Amino acid sequence: LAKTTQPISMDSYEGQEVNITCSHNNIATNDYITWYQQFPSQGPRFIIQGYKTKVTNEVASLFIPADRKSSTLSLPRVSLSDTAVYYCLVGPSGSARQLTFGSGTQLTVLP
């Protein structure tokens, strides 16, 4: 299983762009990179998924360099409601066992 490393916590201010980087040095060829968001007392929510280069949806962008050893989740113009834990997951699509959550990054958005 590819191990992921991400910052324990980050602070930002409303209206700023936030970039959370995840390191996954031993990512395998068939692994995808997936990010989830979790608010207190709720289940995680899927944000975005990618394999290489850049993926963008209505919520975030995901940047993956050519070597795929890291990835960056970009949240544009955050608001107070973006305060949550963000998880970076790496694994193949075929096995639910390998949907492995780490400890995540606690993002706190300040007014």
Partner 1 sequence: DTGVSQDPRHKITKRGQNVTFRCDPISEHNRLYWYRQTLGQGPEFLTYFQNEAQLEKSRLLSDRFSAERPKGSFSTLEIQRTEQGDSAMYLCASSLVGTTREQYFGPGTRLTVT
Among 22, 68, 104, 109, the residue binding partner 1 under the rule CB under 8 A is 104
Is 43 one of the binding residues for partner 1 (CB under 8 A)?
A: yes
| Residue nearer to partner 1 on the CB measure, 1 or 80 | 1
Is 97 one of the binding residues for partner 1 (CB under 8 A)?
A: yes
DSSP 47-92: EEEESSEEEE-SS-EEEE-TT-SEEEEEESS--GGG-EEEEEEEEE
Q: Beta strand 105-110 with 9-13: parallel, antiparallel or unpaired? A: parallel
Tokens read off for 102 = 């780490």
Give the burial string for 102-111 (b: 16+ CB within 10 Å, else e). Answer: eebbebebee
Least CB distance to partner 1 at residue 100 (A): 7
Least CB distance to partner 1 at residue 92 (A): 9
Binding mask 76-95 for partner 1 (x = CB under 8 A): ---------x-x-x-x-xxx
Place of tokens 């919520």: 59
Least CB distance to partner 1 at residue 111 (A): 25
Tokens read off for 32 = 């995808």
Q: Which residues bind partner 1 (CB under 8 A)?
A: 32, 34, 41-46, 49, 85, 87, 89, 91, 93-97, 99-104
